[in-house]
Chains A and B, each alone.
Chain A
Amino acid sequence: MDLLKTIKEIVGPDYVSDADFIRQSYGKGIAGGLIEKRPDYVVRPHSVEEISEILKVANKEKIPIIPRGGGAGLLDGVLPPKEGGIVLDMTGMDEILDFNEDNLTVTVQCGITWAQLNTFLMERGYYTGSLGPGSGMSAVIGGGLSHHSVGGGGAAKYGAVTRHCVGLKVVLANGDIITTGSGASKYIKEPFSRWGLGPDLTSIFLGDQGIMGIKVEATLLIYPKPKYRSYRTFMIKRKAPKVVSKILLDYRKAGDLGIYDAFWLPDLSVAAGLGLIVSEFTVFKLWKEVNPKGKDVFFYTCEAESEEELEQNVKKLNELALQNKGVEMFGPEIEDGNIAKWHYEKNGHWQIYHGFWGAAGRGSIPQTAEHHIPIHQIPQMMDALSKWESENQDLLMKAGPAIHGLGSALLCDHTTVEMDSGLIVFNKPEFREINEKLWKSNLEMVVRSGGMPYMAGMRYSRALIDAGAFSDPYYNFLKAVKYALDPNGIISPGKFYLGGKE
Chain B
Amino acid sequence: MTESERYKHIKKLKDMIISCSGIGDCRIGFRPTVGRFGVCPSYEHSPGFEPYHARGKLRVLYGILEGTLEPSEELARIFFQCPTCGSCHAICHQSYDENINWFICNYIDHTKAWEAFRADLVEMGLAMPRHKELIQSIEENHNPYFEKHEDRIKWLSGRQFPEKADTLYYMGCTEPYRLPEYAQKMVEILDASGIEYTIAHPDEWCCGSIALRTGHLKIAKELAEHNVEAIQKKGVKNVVIHCAGCYRTFVKDYPEILGKELPFKVYHATEFFLDLVNQGKLKLTKNINKKLSYHDPCHIGRAAEIYEPPRELLKKIPGIELVELKRNRENAWCCGAGGGVKSAFPELAVEIAQDRIKEAEEIGVNTIVTACPFCVRNLRDSAQSLKKNEFNVIDILDLVTDAIEK
Q: Which residue of B lies closest to A276 (CB)?
A: B102
- CB-CB under 8 A for A355 and B106, given A25-B60, A70-B27, A138-B23: no
Could you tell me the distance between the alpha carbons of A352 and B102 in the complex, rounded to whole angstroms?
A: 11
Could you tell me the distance between the alpha carbons of A72 and B28 in the complex, rounded to whole angstroms?
A: 12
* Minimum CB–CB distance for A378 against chain B, Å: 26
Q: Is B118 an interface residue (CB 8 A)?
A: no
Residues B33 and A345 in contact, CB atoms below 8 Å apart: yes
* Minimum CB–CB distance for A307 against chain B, Å: 22
List which B1-54 residues lie within 8 A (CB) of chain A: 15, 18-25, 27-34, 36-37, 47-51
What chain A residues lie within 8 Å of B102 (beta carbons)?
276, 278, 355, 358-359
Q: Is A366 an interface residue (CB 8 A)?
A: yes
- Give which listed residue, A19, A70, A280, contacts B24 with CB less than 8 A: A70
Count chain B residues whose beta carbon lies closer than 8 angstroms to a beta carbon of A: 49
Residues A25 and B50 in contact, CB atoms below 8 Å apart: yes
What chain A residues lie within 8 Å of B28 (beta carbons)?
91, 113, 116, 138
* Minimum CB–CB distance for A150 against chain B, Å: 16
* Minimum CB–CB distance for B67 against chain A, Å: 11
Instruction: Select the residue from B28, B49, B59, B70 with max chain A CB neighbours within 10 A.
Output: B49
Could you tell me the distance between the alpha carbons of A236 and B35 in the complex, rounded to whole angstroms?
A: 34
- CB-CB under 8 A for A348 and B34, given A21-B69, A25-B51, A366-B21: yes
Stretch at the interface among A26-34, A191-199, A216-224: A26-34
Residues B50 and A135 in contact, CB atoms below 8 Å apart: no
- CB-CB under 8 A for A137 and B68, given A119-B37, A348-B31: no
- Give which listed residue, A33, A89, A137, A358, contacts B104 with CB less than 8 A: A358
- Give which listed residue, A21, A137, A281, A358, contacts B19 with CB less than 8 A: A358
List which B57-100 residues lie within 8 A (CB) of chain A: 59-60, 62-63, 66, 68-70, 72, 74-75, 91, 93-94, 98-100
- Give which listed residue, B22, B49, B105, contacts A32 with CB less than 8 A: B22
Residues B31 and A349 in contact, CB atoms below 8 Å apart: yes
Q: Is A468 an interface residue (CB 8 A)?
A: no
- Give a binary string over A88-126; 1 marks a CB under 8 Å from any B CB, 0 the rest: 010110000000000000000000010110110011000
Other A-B pairs beyond A21-B72, A22-B51, 8, CB < 8 Å: A22-B49, A25-B50, A28-B62, A32-B20, A135-B23, A355-B93, A358-B94, A365-B19
- Residues of A at the B interface (CB closer than 8 Å) are 14-15, 17, 19-22, 24-30, 32-33, 36, 42, 44, 70-72, 89, 91-92, 113, 115-116, 118-119, 122-123, 135, 137-138, 275-276, 278, 280-281, 284, 344-349, 351-352, 354-355, 357-366, 427-429
* Cross-chain pairs A/B with CB under 8 angstroms, 20 sampled: A21-B74, A25-B50, A25-B60, A26-B50, A28-B62, A29-B22, A71-B55, A72-B24, A89-B49, A135-B25, A137-B91, A281-B99, A347-B33, A348-B33, A354-B23, A354-B93, A355-B93, A357-B21, A427-B19, A429-B66
